[in-house]
Each structure stands twice: as structure tokens, then as C-alpha cells.
Amino acid sequence: MKLFIDSGNLHEIESLVPLGIIDGITTNPSLLAKEGGDARAIVKRICEVVKGPVSAEVVATESGAMIAEGRELAKIDDHVVVKIPFTREGIKAIKALSGEGIRINTTLIFSATQALFAAKAGAAYVSPFVGRLDDIASDGMLLIEQIVEIFDHYEFGTEVLVASVRSPMHIVTAARMGADICTCPAKVIDACFNHPLTDIGLEKFLKDWEQAKRGK
Ligand code: G3P
């Protein structure tokens, strides 16, 4: 399973990329607005740091305007994937832009039919928001199970990108279900590095090693 960072923050991205296990980045208008400044310049810089797929989202809502904005976003860098929300207008834009060879990440997916329609329109990725479903007492990971199962029956070539991840358990469940990608906030990736038994174990190894050396 590929691991993406869900962030528009260059500092977070630059601190995690050297791990060598980050495959791409997802941003959204809220994340980029939080950073302030020139969003296009931030996306360009992220592309240079990561050298993998970087999702940048349109803010237009009418298909013609989405298509025009998507083409402009795609010009920022070869790594840019254009993120388009799942709406009737969005589906038309996905069909048109995919036909031009522009990779699309369909965002705000909350049902299996939305994922199926996006795949049929030619989207490279679908982004089901698991955390936001959990937030309303719905089962986000059940949606991932359904989409993975449906996509397994066909040859869409659309990847399941688990988004709105809130905890390491979302990553575990996504991997068990065979999702293609999990995009995580930096704090969730950081949390995966915390395990008391690893800390205790390492401390003991180093202590034993030093004691043995002193005994020689
Ligand atoms: O980037 C889309 C998605 O991951 C947003 O997550 O935490 O705002 O629901 P969240």
C-alpha cells in the first residue's frame, strides 16, 4: 500500500519525505488556505520535494470552469494530479480531463456508487473520506471494503485512496482491505513511530551492550 501525506505544509512534508516511504501528497483548498501565500507556488515546491503524485484541487464548480482550472493546475508540474469533487459537474470534468491524459483524483467520495461513477468517468484515484463518515456514526472503513471489492471485479485502473484518516488503525484496516493508498496527516504518521515496547527494548539493548563492553 502506498503512503501519502495529507498536507499543504512544506515543513511537515520536508520532515517526512527523507524517511523514504512517502509515495505522494494530497492537498485540498482548506489545507492550502491554512498555509497562506501563493497556493500554486506551494504545490510546485511540494512536487519538487516529493517527486510523486501531488493532488491539487479545483475550486470551480461548473464543469467548463473545472476543466479550464484543471488544465492550469496540471501545467504546474508533471506530478500534479487534479482533484475534482464528486458532483454532476465534476463527473463531466473528470471525463473530459481524463480523456486529455490528465490524472484525476475524485474527492469527497462518501458512497460506493460515487466511487463507481468516478471510475467509469476515468478517474485515476477515488478518495473516500473515512474519518468524516466515522464522525457521523457511519462506518468509513466499510465503504473502503465495498469499493475495493467492486473495483476488484473490473479493470478500471482506478486506485482507492483512503482519505480523511484519523488514526493508525485506519492505516492498518486500509492495508488489510487491500486499499491502494492511504493519505495521512503528519501527526498520524508520527503516531506510528511511537511504541513503548520499542523504546523500552532499545534502551535495554543499548544498556546491555554498554555493560558488556565495560566488563571486557
Ligand atoms: O484531503 C482530504 C481529506 O483527507 C480531508 O481530511 O481530516 O479534513 O476530514 P479531513
- Can you tell me which atom of ligand 1 is nearest the CA of 135? 9
| Cβ(163) – ligand 1 distance below 6 Å | yes
Domain count, the chain: 1
Joined grid coordinates for residue 97: 480531463
Q: CA 213 → CA 1, 138, 205, distances in Å?
A: 42, 56, 12
- Per-residue pLDDT of 39-66, as tens digits, reads 999 999 999 999 899 999 999 999 999 9
**What is d(CA 162, CA 182) in angstroms, rounded to the nearest whole number?**
5
| Cβ(132) – ligand 1 distance below 6 Å | yes
| Cβ(131) – ligand 1 distance below 6 Å | yes
pTM: 0.96
**What is d(CA 124, CA 105) in angstroms, rounded to the nearest whole number?**
6
- Per-residue pLDDT of 134-180, as tens digits, reads 999 999 999 999 999 999 999 999 999 999 999 999 999 999 999 99
Axis crossing angle, helix 140-152 with helix 112-120, rounded to the nearest 10: 40
Could you tell me the residue range of the domain that residue 87 belongs to? 2-215
**What is d(CA 168, CA 131) in angstroms, rounded to the nearest whole number?**
12
- The residue whose CA has the least distance to atom 10 of ligand 1 is 164
Domain at 164, CATH number: 3.20.20.70
The total number of residues written for the chain in this structure: 216
Which residues belong to the active site?
83
